[in-house]
Amino acid sequence: MTGWGTQDLTVRYGKKTALAKVTLQAQAGQVTAVVGGDGAGKTTLLRCLAGTLAPTTGTVRKPAKQRIGYLPSSSGIYPDLTVLENLDFRATSYKLPRQAARARAEEYLDRAGLADAKNRLAGQLSGGMRQKLAVIAAMLHQPDLLVLDEPTTGVDPVSRSGLWWLIARAAADGCAVVLATTYLDEAERCATVLVLDAGTALAAGPSDEIVAAMPGVLCRVADKPAGEAARRAWRRGGRWRVWLERPPDTPGAELVTPDLQDAVTVAAIAREITMTKEVAA
């Protein structure tokens, strides 16, 4: 395993398996996305990678604690301190030279659109502004590994743009960035993607390779199909998409070029069908 990441990572909470033999690789200078629905195991994986949770079995390759930047699902920002006081406190905890840390903080704040808010209490910031501040705090010491748990969830589009500037800047500085996201359009911007479902990996690799590896064909129809085809159908954009092994003979069916969202949906459906067959056998 090169770079940072996990190999065959398994995490159990009592009898419940949160992750089952999950492998992730994060390279320096690249952004890796971890996607999946609620309960998929994203936070558990990121906690192991950040060193706040020990795995049951498997290997975690990560830098020393001081060389990791971690943004948990809670921002870790102190609401009763100003923006600059929060960053000064973080700089002190990382033992950064004060002058260099302040100069870096001022640059990040300016590029993220927070320069005018630097003397405001963090508790008075909007949700998007707090998230940008939290990402700046996590990357202030220019870590080797930056782990971000859904940094853009619930954030307005303008703030998301500012957050992505920060994320791209961290990668450009040579950091390996791993972020969990529920937005597949964001995942498509990343160098590699790991798709989780119920603690297992559905797919991994660059998004275009995941899409190219999708088996069968995808078609679009006006109405939800009946019978066996209903298990392979889902609504998207007001119409229904159906995953089939071969092009259909059905009148009105329109072939669709799949994207990452389609490929992830198909992978989940394929896994469900396989598990159903195994149970039946």
- Flag whether pLDDT at 187 surpasses 90: yes
Query: Per-residue pLDDT averaged across 90-106, rounded?
Result: 94
Report CA 275 to chain centroid distance, whole Å: 26
CA distance 192 to 220: 28
- Flag whether pLDDT at 135 surpasses 90: yes
Q: How far is CA 71 from CA 47, 67, 68, 121, 240, in A?
A: 10, 14, 10, 19, 37
Percentage of the residues of the chain whose pLDDT score is greater than 70: 96
Q: Three-state DSSP class for 239?
A: strand
pLDDT of residue 76: 82
pLDDT of residue 238: 86
Sequence-separated (6 or more) residues with CB below 8 Å from residue 64: none
Element (H, E) at 240: strand 239-244
Which of these ranges, 4-13, 21-30, 60-69, 246-255, has the smallest mean pLDDT? 246-255
How many other β-carbons are positioned within 10 Å of the β-carbon of residue 89? 14
CA distance 253 to 281: 33
Q: How far is CA 266 from CA 1, 123, 246, 269, in A?
A: 28, 42, 14, 5
pLDDT per position as a tens digit, 142-178: 999 999 999 988 888 888 888 999 999 999 999 999 9
pLDDT of residue 274: 82
Percentage of the residues of the chain whose pLDDT score is greater than 90: 78
- Flag whether pLDDT at 59 surpasses 60: yes
Q: Positive or negative CA dihedral for 206, 211, 212, 214? A: positive
CA distance 163 to 141: 17
- Flag whether pLDDT at 1 surpasses 60: no
- Flag whether pLDDT at 251 surpasses 70: no
Query: Per-residue pLDDT averaged across 90-119, rounded?
Result: 93
Place of tokens 């995942």: 187
Whether 104 contacts 112, CB under 8 Å: no
Query: Per-residue pLDDT averaged across 40-51, rounded?
Result: 96
- Flag whether pLDDT at 128 surpasses 80: yes
The domains found in the chain, sorted by start residue, are 4-205 (3.40.50.300), 208-280 (no CATH)
Whether 233 contacts 242, CB under 8 Å: yes
Q: Three-state DSSP class for 37?
A: coil
Average pLDDT, the chain: 92
Element (H, E) at 278: helix 260-280
